[in-house]
Every structure is written in C-alpha cells, then in structure tokens.
Copies of this chain bind each other. A is one copy, B any other.
C-alpha cells in the first residue's frame, strides 16, 4: 500500500449481468484478493441477492484473517441508481430482480459499514480517474461499449450524476434524428449502431438479404449465432456486409465522441467495454470521425484512448466510488 493511502481496505463489488465480482482493494487501487461467481448461480430472484451477500461475507472473513480495517463498501451496479440511499432504479435492464431494491440499506445492515452504490460505468470512470489513465485530470469522459453502451463524466473534477442519477447516459444520445428505434423509447441513439448487441443485430438483418457473406460460414449457417466479435472478424477479412456494419458503428460512435468534445472540451475520452476489444479496426475510424464532427481546436486538446481495464477493474472502480464519496463528505 502506498504511503499516502489511507490505512485499511475497501470492499468493492461489481454486479454484472453474468458475473458478480468482489474484492478487497487498498487505497492505491491494488486488488488484494477477489472472488467472483456467476450472478445467477442460484435461481434468479432472491438468488442474486444471496450470491451477493455470500461474496461480501466471504471477503469480510478474508479481511478478518488478513487483519486491518475495512473502511467501507462500494458497489457498481447496472442502470440508474439513487446514490443517496443506494437504491437500484426502475430502468435496470439486465438484472430485473434488483429493480427498486434498497441494496445500500441491506448491505449497511448486514455489514455495519458505510456503503455507496452507484452505476457501474460511473464506478469504472472513477476507477480510471483515481487509479488509471485519467489520474489527475479535471475533465474526463468514459464510454463503455458492451452489450449496451454506458457512459461516465467527470467535469471540473466532479462526477456528473445530475439531479436523479441519469447523468452520463452517452449511449442514449441521438446522433440521427430519424434513425432506428431504441428500447429506451427514443431513436437514432448511438447504442442502436454501436453496441455489441446492435452490431450483431444489424449484421443478422443484412444477412437476410445477402446470403453470400462469409459471416454465414463463421456461424455455421445460423444467423442467430452471430455476435459482435464475428462481425469484426469478417470485416477484417474484407467482407463487404460486415465492413458496412462496422463502418456505421464507428461513424455513430465517432459522432458521439465528437459531441462530447464540443460539449465538454475534455482532456481525455476513454473508450472501454468488450466491443472496443476489437481494437484498431474500430478505434481508428472512431477517432477519424470524432475529428470530423468536433471543432478542430477542441479535438486537438483531447486525447482519445482505449481503456486498459482488466477483469479486476470493476472491483477497483467500486472501491474508487467509495473513496470518492468519502472525499466528498469530508469536503461538506
């Protein structure tokens, strides 16, 4: 642990749709030890909460064995969170069992520790800011491109949550007035072009009209098996249909990045999430389009980087979330 770090560890929990990870993190961001289980190892419903409580209990045991205090618990969860109470919002898509759950209160009662719950991408953004590539900067945006698209904003050195926690929903900003419908009720959102699910959906839809694409071979003739990595693989081989889908995703995402540059003039924009693991085949045109859509002088001041997140980053981010809130309380 760095000399300047507060003594003791933070218990960080990353509540994902498929994996629930928890770990003990020191004040320098190092994950000391961690556990993860499938989110729904038990039956869905009460099972998800039971799994979460079991992971937390296991880590508290570990902490007792290791000695040293636990300062508190940070949890990153999908959807919009009411941070003051730690209650999961109504718009949670992937873990419907948790809709409206007062997770913060439950964890406070179980652990006797201070608990902070917030959106998982807000937590990741704080992780990048406290321990990662965004360290020491004042204006940072993060876009997490996975099954869906999430975002986090740090402006003037503070996380932007807004009045009820919807701040930073970059994936659901419109870049095409009359574009395709989105589940959110709007249309032309960045998400409908560039999320992993939508990249696969667009490829499936095009395949119905064009059965010659090599994508069809990659999935053994079954369009339902198409996923985003296969679309990128086919595009890398020059498959025209896959190239079209990737080009459109990059343009939409690049326009979104350009919009963030003109709105915030940030020092850094971090692109993360499983879809960005496609690498330069996506990153290169995204940056090119961002340059096109943004003011040149503003673009020139913004670094655009790929996240270097690992599977521990969610846990680290959840710990950063706790440290951030603790710091805010000290200020007020």
Question: A residues engaging B (CB < 8 A)?
Answer: 80, 89-91, 138-139, 151, 153, 155-156, 158-170, 172-179, 184-188, 251-252, 255, 258-259, 261-267, 292-298, 301-302
- Asked whether B166 lies within 8 Å of A261 as measured between CB atoms, the reply is yes
Separation of A89 and B185 alpha carbons in the complex (Å):
40
Which residues from B are CB-within-8-Å of A166?
261-262, 265, 295, 297-298, 301
- Asked whether A170 lies within 8 Å of B263 as measured between CB atoms, the reply is yes
CB distance from A318 to the nearest CB of B (A): 21
Which residues from B are CB-within-8-Å of A173?
258-259, 262-263
- Asked whether A263 lies within 8 Å of B167 as measured between CB atoms, the reply is yes
Which residues from B are CB-within-8-Å of A301?
162-164, 166
23 contacts between A and B (CB under 8 A): A139-B163, A139-B167, A155-B167, A156-B159, A158-B158, A161-B265, A162-B265, A164-B265, A166-B261, A166-B265, A166-B301, A169-B298, A172-B295, A173-B262, A174-B293, A176-B176, A177-B251, A177-B252, A185-B295, A185-B296, A187-B293, A188-B255, A263-B263
Separation of A252 and B174 alpha carbons in the complex (Å):
10
Given contacts A166-B262, A166-B297, A186-B294, 20 further A-B contacts (CB under 8 A): A89-B297, A90-B297, A139-B160, A151-B263, A153-B263, A156-B159, A156-B160, A162-B264, A162-B301, A164-B297, A166-B295, A167-B264, A167-B265, A169-B265, A172-B262, A174-B293, A176-B176, A186-B258, A186-B293, A187-B293
Most buried by B among A90, A160, A255, A263: A263
- Asked whether B163 lies within 8 Å of A138 as measured between CB atoms, the reply is yes
Which residues from B are CB-within-8-Å of A159?
156
Which residues from B are CB-within-8-Å of A178?
176
- Asked whether B177 lies within 8 Å of A255 as measured between CB atoms, the reply is yes
Separation of A165 and B160 alpha carbons in the complex (Å):
19
CB distance from A53 to the nearest CB of B (A): 28
Q: Which of B161, B179, B292, B302 contacts A186 (CB 8 A)?
A: B292
Which residues from B are CB-within-8-Å of A170?
262-263
Nearest CB in chain B to that of A289: its residue: B177
Nearest CB in chain B to that of A248: its residue: B177
Most buried by B among A156, A261, A292, A301: A156
Taking A155-B160, A294-B186 as contacts, is the C-beta distance between A169 and B263 under 8 angstroms? Answer: yes
- Asked whether A259 lies within 8 Å of B298 as measured between CB atoms, the reply is no
Separation of A168 and B151 alpha carbons in the complex (Å):
18
Taking A156-B156, A293-B186 as contacts, is the C-beta distance between A265 and B165 under 8 angstroms? Answer: yes
